[in-house]
Chain A
């Protein structure tokens, strides 16, 4: 069922295929919080285009404005200047076309795992039966079918995040927005989740915008890594990651991987040195 419903990432090869949806245009976006003396520029004049089906990671230290940038795409935050377009349509508020996965566990504690996943389809007006069938499908996708009648609190952190991913996907969003979704997990679980996510993405071909502060996570997952800097909330590097897929953890020994990792690190280092000198001058 998933295969039937999923949009294949390779359908671009088919002649006259409709253009894939899920293109994100961030046009000259600035976000300023607060007023007067307390004004804080979280994102500064950022422009970028994310192609449909692309897996993009936003990498940067905490507090540099990653979440804020992501939230402008999600529609939680309105840009002070500029605009965000999804497939050419201006983003004005959150919606089911942009699935969101949070760092904090955000499942509804009073609904079972299955009800949590069925929530989106229910809100989209699907019948109870149809929604719960969808929930089962997506639960199977993340390998948690056995847990459908459990409450979120009965699941481990990693399992809850898998349910969160299933819940976001159950609406067939054109973009999946992920804000440090694995940040609270231990490193083994985290690796497993990353592989899991990649295989889901391969199946769905959804555009993914993934925020992380972990260089290895960014390079392992992404087609493209955007390095963001704190002063003041700008993209300072845009690196293609030409590693073959499917990727396994051993890829970290690949020379390309090492090269990209070094590039990312030196960008971040240069930036933090600059920030450090600025502070001390």
Chain B
């Protein structure tokens, strides 16, 4: 146990850095467009767009610009429809190309810096080259234990994330709707949210009966806050005029919640779910410091204690890719519910 704790301290520095990033991500809802820089992020960007569109004036201009005449035939608007339905527009393809080239350029610079043993302020002398990392990676792909590491981590993410979604959306909805709940829960969120995942390690070990439960708890906490906060903000942004309209159409409180508040919050909830997935990966890495055996975070951390530089980078990149893939997966799950937004442009 004390060995584990020491290990945790040794790892403190890199993990805290990861947490700073995670913290930024948790704070993101207020300026959500910032997280979108690839074409796949378009839907995450949308929430803020709808917000502006609920302001009548901005929207009028936009609409009249699109359809100057009231008498426009359906054919005219159908043009926009076919383009949104196409799988990849030329613009998206173009962006994908740019992203691919950027990655290649990054690898090239990395290669160059390590080949030159660059030591100009940043020291590349001990950084493994992309080639070495790639070789290490392919070697690991041939070992069974590497898949066990990945599988164990994915299982932890799945459990923690699902819990965070259930609890986070539920609390977020309540906080957005009921001022009392908001006032009650908010101080806890404000205080607990900035605590980095690594800082939870000792207490998590003491609190939970098993190592596994501690890791899941730490990962869960990471995902929880962005989901709660985005859900709450989404609910609060429900345009009052829509609620009034629904009341005048005879909707009950439940129906107002179900047909108005929830869909209005959905873009923001979806953004929270995507951010939460990313954050759960940073937290997992911290949590897996506790793990004695498996997990990709453990793998990375273990490589660090064994001073196996290639494996550190392999671990980092695997986490990066798994994080990206799972975030994309979350987005693809929420996308069908946000289809109406694609029409709002």
Q: Do A and B come from one complex?
A: yes
B74 within 8 A of A: yes
- Cα(A17)–Cα(B57), bound, Å: 46
- Residues A111-148 near B (CB distance < 8 A): 111, 119-120, 123-124, 146-147
- Cα(A124)–Cα(B248), bound, Å: 11
Q: How far, in Å, is B196 (CB) from chain A's closest CB?
A: 37
Interface string of B56-78 (1 = CB under 8 A from A): 11011001101111101110010
- Cα(A210)–Cα(B201), bound, Å: 64
Interface pair B248/A119, CB less than 8 Å apart: no
B241 within 8 A of A: yes
Interface residue stretch chosen among B98-106, B221-229, B249-257, B292-300: B249-257
A110 within 8 A of B: yes
Interface residue stretch chosen among B22-30, B151-159, B325-333, B337-345: B337-345
Q: How many residues of B contact A (CB 8 A)?
A: 43
Cross-interface CB contact of A156 among B67, B241, B245, cutoff 8 Å: B67
For A123, list chain B residues within 8 Å (CB). Answer: 246, 249-252, 255
Interface pair A105/B56, CB less than 8 Å apart: yes
- Residues B234-290 near A (CB distance < 8 A): 239, 241-242, 244-252, 255, 259-260, 263-264, 266
A104 within 8 A of B: yes
The number of chain A residues touching the other chain, given as a range, is 35 or more
B80 within 8 A of A: yes
Cross-interface CB contact of A153 among B242, B250, B266, B344, cutoff 8 Å: B344
B53 within 8 A of A: yes
- List residues of chain A with CB under 8 Å of any chain B CB: 74-76, 93-96, 98-100, 102-111, 119-120, 123-124, 146-147, 150-151, 153-160, 167-168, 171, 184, 186, 189, 192
- List residues of chain B with CB under 8 Å of any chain A CB: 50, 53-54, 56-57, 59-60, 63-64, 66-70, 72-74, 77, 80-81, 239, 241-242, 244-252, 255, 259-260, 263-264, 266, 340-341, 343-345
- Supply 30 A–B pairs (Cβ within 8 Å), ascending by A: A94-B248, A95-B250, A96-B250, A99-B248, A100-B245, A100-B248, A102-B241, A102-B244, A104-B54, A106-B241, A106-B242, A109-B50, A109-B341, A110-B263, A123-B246, A124-B250, A146-B73, A150-B343, A151-B343, A153-B53, A153-B345, A154-B81, A155-B63, A156-B63, A157-B60, A157-B63, A159-B67, A160-B63, A167-B245, A168-B248
